[in-house]
Structure 1
Amino acid sequence: MMTPDGRIRVMEIIARMNVGGPAALVMGLHERLNADEFDRRLYTGYVDGAEGDHLQLLDATLQVHRIPGLGRAVKPADDYRALLRLVSAMRSFRPHIVHTHTAKAGALGRMAARLAGTGSARVHVFHGHLLEGGYFSPSKRRLYIWTERRLASMSDRLVTVGAKVRDDLIAAGIGRPEQYVVIPPGLQLGRIPDREAARTALDLPLDAPVVAFVGRLTQVKRPDRFLAAARAVLQRMPTCRFVVCGGGELKEEVERGIADMWGSFRLLGWRRDVETVYAAADVVLMTSDNEGTPLTLIEAGMAGTPVVSTRVGSIPEIVRDGVTGLLAGLDAGELAEHTLRLLSDPTLARRMGESARDWTTSSYGVERLVADTEALYRSLRAAPRHQLTPGSTP
């Protein structure tokens, strides 16, 4: 049934609410979007067993509409049924705006919006992109680009989390520049404990150097590169401790990789109090092959912890190299050198941490994210449908 109260109806679709940036941003918006102006409903599939469930981790009471088959796996029969369920839901809810996240949900959601014939404006968010970082073989990469080009023709707005991601997508011929809107992430970290309390909670020595990895243990995050950098650090700083906060399909591989360094590592799994990990660390190390605008680096900055990271995706938009952290190429040795530099110079690390706190708090607060998103929704609702994307597929 249509909502009779005149609010802007938004149907948000994400494949699954696994622990990670997209789910965190979706949750932040749902908690703060003006309910007097927007009727926003979330449609999602189920989280795979190897992944952390963001809703369960936070004991969230958020109401979601489950769509079987919308999860991570690509299975034609299940995907087709998910598409039909989305079409049915759209015809019932009649959203003014269909807002999709992640590749699979973006494809099914935009196709469903076209088939439903409700005249909904279509927005898709690229939280990163799959053009780099070894996601695909060359043939699959070409198929992905071909698919996204055609889906862009069904889209009124394409949202990216950073300017670099936008520029890369445009260079690949995905959409037109006027379709794009850059809306950086926004979040709010929980209360940050003091260093001693954080280390006590995580059973870490109070006086040892500590390096943290926070994120999914999956190939694109390159936990193997993290372990190689850790091994290089330990050769010169044997008292260092390494904390891994996260889980994923490479968990057992990581456990095997640290067998001869076990005493120097703490594997925490997923934790809801991630601010405790940042507070306990002297450095947060990110070793990814590819990223959009990773929330881990924003959270670390808000906690006042300097970071060392690979220079990929939109990371240079978050980390001001030499000011709030240090950026490197994809070489584990270079990452280790940067890490050792910060661990060996507490004054430099403290100065960078303070700069990171100021920068991330002012630029990536959740209030800004909400305001940007509300403004996007209003602009889409105000514009006549045929004026949104001239030349797009109706």
Structure 2
Amino acid sequence: MKKVAFLITKSEVGGAQTWVAQLIALLDGEIQPIIITNQPGWLSKTLPNIPCYFVSEIEQGLSIKALCKISQLLTHNQVDTVVASSANAGVYARLISLKYTFKCVYVSHGWSCIYNGGALKSVYITLERLLAKLSDIVWCVSHSDYVRAKDVIKVPERKLKLAQNATFPSMVNKATCLEKGRSLRVVSVGRLCQPKRFELLMDAIHDLADIELTIVGNGPDFNELSTWCSPNVELVGEIENFRDYAEFDAFVLLSDSEGLPMSAIEAGSANIPLILSDVGGCSELIELSNPNGLLVENNIEDVRRALMELKLNYSRYKTAANDVSEKFNIYRYKSEYFSILE
């Protein structure tokens, strides 16, 4: 049985952490996993039976102490494969691979070197291109990230693998229409900080009396966003292992950049329509021929247009959401995921 180390910078609630937790659960009995992260948190609590090692220095851009500690852990556990699921983790895993023999898999959950590089974008892209040479596999979770890896970062195509995010089946919303006169109940889930655009969503909804918004999540912007609340917007804070999407009519996620957002996938598996910013891999979650939701530009007018379109034609979008929900089922991808790690 392969010994696989999952290396991730932070143990907090997040899409990459959810991806790690679900992949380990999916491959239970087929791999022998360990987790290396910064400190005890959501990920270590979610998987209490998985050996979890803490290296606080992993949060730093480059720490010799972190390199030494992680190297020792990989050697001590006789790891066959390392799966790095964040930018910092990816740097450490690939530098360590210069000295130690293991299969090095770097997972792109959205190319931060492209989306968030700012004035140093070209420097970060060049760095990622060099690090890709040390990777055995660069795993892209969306087609858009695959294309950017190949065309922008110039990762050799022989190193690239595309295997999209998915999730375990959850309780589904069985409704086919909105009850006459009832408000559209919308949920948005994510960490309250950039690149997410919760302030834009709240601005778009605050004076729409027939739309009710619930925001699930915590983060640096929580206190500021709390001051913007209106009667039809509720911030409920962080709910660990939130999966109650079926209690809502629709899911909305606005963001300046995304890979393939786990919260949207979880909502899709609950058979509810999606409204997503047209960034990253979000368009891959909306079916063109049988639309289970809408893509929007990040401005108030377009978000309101999409919300009203969804409310007016809810039955059509809800039927499509029922039809396509199986595409989000993680069991469909089990052999594909395992083949990347073995």
- TM-score between the two structures when normalised by the length of structure 2: 0.90
Q: Partner letter of residue 103 of structure 1?
A: A
Letter in 2 for 1:53: W
The amino acid across from 1:252 in the alignment is N
Q: Does 1:147 align with 2:127?
A: yes
* Counterpart code for 1:274: F
The equivalent position to 1:255 in structure 2, one of 195, 208, 226, is: 226
Aligned residues: 336
Partner of 2:178: none
SS in 1 for 2:112: coil
- Output one character per residue of 1:111-170: Cα deviation in whole Å (capped at 9) or x when no partner: 11222x3x212110001111454x23222x222112111110101110000111111122
Paired residues of 1:90 and 1:113 also in contact (CA < 8 A):
no
Matched, 1:349 2:320: no
Note closer, same or farther for the CA distance 1:215–1:189 as it changes in structure 2 (3 Å cut). farther
Q: In the TM superposition, what is the alpha-carbon distance from 1:248 to its structure 2 partner?
A: 0.7
Distance 2:263 2:330 in 1: 15
* Residue in 2 that maps onto 1:137: 118
Cα distance per residue 1:329-349 (max 9 Å; x no partner)? 222210111101112x2xx32
Residues 356-391 of structure 1: CA deviation (Å, up to 9, x unaligned): 233232x2222234321211233xxxxxxxxxxxxx
In the alignment, the residues of structure 1 paired with residue 53 and residue 72 of structure 2 have an alpha-carbon distance, to the nearest angstrom, of 13
**Offset at 1:351?**
2.9
Q: 2:283 corresponds to which residue?
A: 316
* Unmatched runs of 5 consecutive residues or more in structure 2: 176-180
Structure 1: gaps (5+ residues): 1-6, 196-205, 379-394
Deviation (angstroms), 1:34? 4.5
Identity of aligned residues (%): 21
Q: Distance in 2 between matches of 1:34 and 1:218?
A: 33
**2:18 corresponds to 1:29:** no
Match of 1:375 among 336, 339, 342: 339
Q: Is contact 1:14-1:43 (8 Å) kept?
A: yes
Q: Secondary structure at the match of 1:146?
A: helix
- The letter of the residue matching 1:364 is F
- Where 1:181 maps in the other structure, the secondary structure is strand
How far off its partner does 1:182 sit? Answer: 0.4
Q: Give, in angstroms, the shift of residue 96 of structure 1.
A: 2.0
- Provide the residue aligned with 2:300 in structure 1: 332
Give me the whole-angstrom Cα distance separating, in 2, the residues matched to 1:137 and 1:24. Answer: 27
Aligned to 2:93: 109
Q: Which residue of 2 aligns with 1:157?
A: 137
Which residue of the partner structure matches residue 191 of structure 1?
Answer: 171
Whose Rg is larger? Answer: 1
CA distance in 2, matches of 1:59, 1:193: 28
Residue 193 of structure 1: CA displacement?
7.1
Q: Secondary structure at the match of 1:114?
A: coil
Equivalent of 1:291 in 245, 258, 282: 258
Q: Please, which of 88, 92, 102 is the counterpart of residue 120 of structure 1? A: 102
Aligned equivalents of 1:46, 1:22: Cα separation in 2: 16
For 1:275 and 1:193, locate their aligned partners in 2 and report how far apart those are by CA, in whole Å. 12
1:70 aligns to what? 58
CA distance in 1, matches of 2:19, 2:333: 9
Provide the secondary structure at the position in 2 that maps to 1:167.
helix
Q: Assess, with a 3 A threshold, how the Cα gap between structure 1 residues 62 and 269 changes in structure 2: closer, same or farther.
A: farther
**Whole-angstrom distance in 1 between the partners of 2:8 and 2:93:** 9
Q: CA deviation at 1:326?
A: 0.8
Conserved? CA contact 1:100–1:123, under 8 Å: yes
Match of 2:81 in 1: 97
Over 3 Å counting, the alpha-carbon distance change for 1:42 and 1:296 in structure 2 is same
Please state how far the C-alpha of 1:226 moved relative to its aligned partner. Answer: 1.0
Alignment partners' CA distance in 2, 1:59 and 1:98: 18
- Whether the 8 Å contact between 1:282 and 1:306 is mirrored in structure 2 is yes
- Structure 2 CA distance for aligned equivalents of residues 240 and 287 of structure 1: 16
TM-superposed CA distance for 1:60, in Å, is 4.6
Say which SS state the counterpart of residue 143 (structure 1) adopts: helix
State the TM-score, normalized to the length of structure 1: 0.79
- Corresponding residue number in structure 2 for 1:364: 328
- Is contact 2:6-2:34 (8 Å) kept? yes
What's the RMSD between the two structures over aligned residues? 2.3
1:41 paired residue number: 34
